[in-house]
Amino acid sequence: MPEVTKHKPGMFCWIELATTDPGAAKRFYGDLFDWSAEDVPAGEGMTYTMLRMRGKEVAALYQLDEERRKAGIPPHWFTYVAVKSADESAKKAASLGGTVVQEPFDVMDVGRMAVVRDPTGAHFAVWEPKRHQGTAIVGEPGSHVWTELLTPDTKKAGDFYSKLFGWEREEMQMTEPRPQTYTVFKMGEDRVGGLMTTPPNAGPIPPNWLVYLATRDVDATANNIKKLGGSILMPPTDIPDVGRFSVNQDPQGAVFAIFKPNM
């Protein structure tokens, strides 16, 4: 896909990593995807690190604060959805049964956002862009390629997001990696993200949006993840007529997936 200068409202537009060790995370993802890192002051005592590929912003990371760590929140990847108005989207999310965890607020002059928990428990943010539009490269190796909601209640979650963002739902029957109904969220011809029931062997994980990063070679990247101190939660697996993927964990514990689509 070409470089992106603006994301349509309703599309995922940004990903960021909350981690316990920013220095180690920068080294891990830099070695894995050849990302460069630039630390940017972000308020008193806080640094926000922009991650770039070919000089273009593809993600960010920051230190997970002590308060959230004590509350049991682990390192994690987090997703943003572009909207016309963060205030209106937050208000609508609440009316649909979601919870506004952080009320709309300005992020300096780069945008306005709110953090929402959907009715099944998954968190995400809505982003009203100003100076920062979001990821500048999408779908290329080393960049964000897909986002997938894992939840025990796909009906409740599907209804919520469809009403909130106008996403249509297209169901497909899958046999690998296990028999299941997989839902693709769409806006017109654009595929937005996926929806599936949390795998029974995944353990007691909360509902969450899983971030997928594109790669040229899933197996080689999975091997590099292990060499760099990460772990493989699901080994490289083929999805017939779709592509190949694996689910992984970085050395600090944040979970992410890698994916190569069938061409």
The mean pLDDT value for 21-30 works out to 97
The H or E element spanning position 156 is helix 154-165
Order of all β-strands in the sheet with 36-41: 36-41, 47-53, 56-63, 12-19, 76-82, 123-129, 111-117, 99-107
1 has pLDDT over 80: no
Residues 6+ positions from 38 with CB-CB distance below 8 Å: 49, 50, 52
Extended strands (E) in the chain: 12-19, 36-41, 47-53, 56-63, 76-82, 99-107, 111-117, 123-129, 144-151, 168-174, 180-187, 190-197, 208-214, 231-239, 243-249, 255-261
Q: pTM for this one? A: 0.95
% of the chain beyond a pLDDT of 90: 83
Please tell me the distance from the alpha carbon of residue 11 to that of residue 233, in angstroms, as a whole number.
Answer: 27
CA dihedral 39, 13, 15, 105 (to 10 degrees): 70
CB-based contact 167:186 (threshold 8 Å):
yes
Is the model more confident about 66 or about 30? 30
- How does DSSP assign 72-138, residue by residue? TPPPEEEEEEE-S-HHHHHHHHHHTT-EEEEEEEEETTTEEEEEEE-TTS-EEEEEEESS----SB-
248 has pLDDT over 60: yes
Residues 123-139: pLDDT tens digits? 999 999 999 999 999 99
66 has pLDDT over 90: no
**Domains, in order of start, for the chain:** 12-129 (3.10.180.10), 144-261 (3.10.180.10)
CB-based contact 124:101 (threshold 8 Å):
no
Mean pLDDT of the chain: 94
Please tell me the distance from the alpha carbon of residue 32 to that of residue 228, in angstroms, as a whole number.
Answer: 8
Residues 198-219: pLDDT tens digits? 887 777 789 999 999 999 999 9
In the numeric block, which tokens belong to residue 180? 């299941």
Residues 6+ positions from 76 with CB-CB distance below 8 Å: 17, 18, 208, 254, 255
For residue 177, what pLDDT is reported? Answer: 66
